[in-house]
Amino acid sequence: MAPNIYLVRQRISRLGQRMSGFQINLNPLKEPLGFIKVLEWIASIFAFATCGGFKGQTEIQVNCPPTITENKTVTATFGYPFRLNEASFQPPPGVNICDVNWKDYVLIGDYSSSAQFYVTFAVFVFLYCIAALLLYVGYTSLYLDSRKLPMIDFVVTLVATFLWLVSTSAWAKALTDIKIATGHNIVDELSPCKKKAVLCYFGSVTSMGSLNVSVIFGFLNMILWGGNAWFVYKETSLHSPSNTSAPHSQGGIPPPTGI
């Protein structure tokens, strides 16, 4: 029991010595492994910022002749996390349009699960990229000398690639439904607009260009993480033996790793 405790203490002591030896080395950023990680970090920012920061509104024009002959605007404001069923219509302040309490009517659909999953995952990726870059740049020798860290990095890269595909696909489908729910179909879904005395016309909806960009960056992140998997794999023990066995058997010096 005592020797085991001694070994654990010795390993902790060695790890502490390595962690205390923080030295900035920018050379890894010049290699594909570090450079692509920087691109992943930037792309994750655009992914959650373009989606999480969106706010928009949809408008319909309403009149009910002969009481109201001019079109009056009724507006529903929506945004992240896109719980459209909580976005009620609002008439102009102090205006009674066709004796309808428009605040009782909301948009249709709740797409918060897909949107929040996408944004939350993008934020976690952002934080992981910071930690990975700190390891690459500040503890280069610790990363290269360890067998576990590159393997953990490789597994995380594979999982992140898959989750980018899943989250972006789900968010792309939700975005399509959001465009439908806030578009021309509003007039057909609102019960006051089905009355013969009330005439409703679709007005406009805020451009969702930034949301389209968020989908693009989601798939771009998937490509970046998938491509980077090869460079992370080269740092693991799964790849190293095939490159180092021949030099060791001949008494030579093994070639340097990717970083």
Task: Give the CATH number, domain containing residue 46.
Answer: 1.20.140
Residue 248 lies in a domain: no
Average pLDDT, the chain: 85
More confident: 21 or 251: 21
* Mean pLDDT of the region 39-50: 96
Lowest-pLDDT range of 29-43, 71-85, 183-197: 183-197
Eight-class DSSP state of 74: E
Q: Which residues of 83-116 are buried (b: 16+ CB within 10 A; e: fewer)?
A: bbeebebebeeeeebbebebeebbbebebbebbb
Residue 88 lies in a domain: yes
0.75 surpassed by pTM: yes
70-79: list long-range contacts, CB under 8 Å, 24+ apart: 71/201, 72/97, 73/203, 74/102, 76/106, 76/107, 76/182, 76/186, 78/107, 78/182, 79/54, 79/55
The model's confidence at residue 100, banded by pLDDT at 50, 70 and 90, is confident
Residue 54 lies in a domain: yes
197 has pLDDT over 70: yes
Output the pLDDT for position 169: 97
The most confident of 12-16, 71-75, 127-131, by mean pLDDT: 127-131
Residue 241 lies in a domain: no
Q: How many domains does the chain have?
A: 1
Residue 166 lies in a domain: yes
Residue 114 lies in a domain: yes
Eight-class DSSP state of 166: H
207 has pLDDT over 80: yes
Structural domain boundaries, residue 75? 25-232
Output the pLDDT for position 109: 93
Cβ-Cβ contacts under 8 Å for 55 (sequence gap 6 or more): 77, 78, 79, 80, 206
Lowest-pLDDT range of 41-55, 82-96, 209-223: 82-96
Residue 133 lies in a domain: yes
Residue 191 lies in a domain: yes
Output the pLDDT for position 98: 85
The model's confidence at residue 28, banded by pLDDT at 50, 70 and 90, is confident
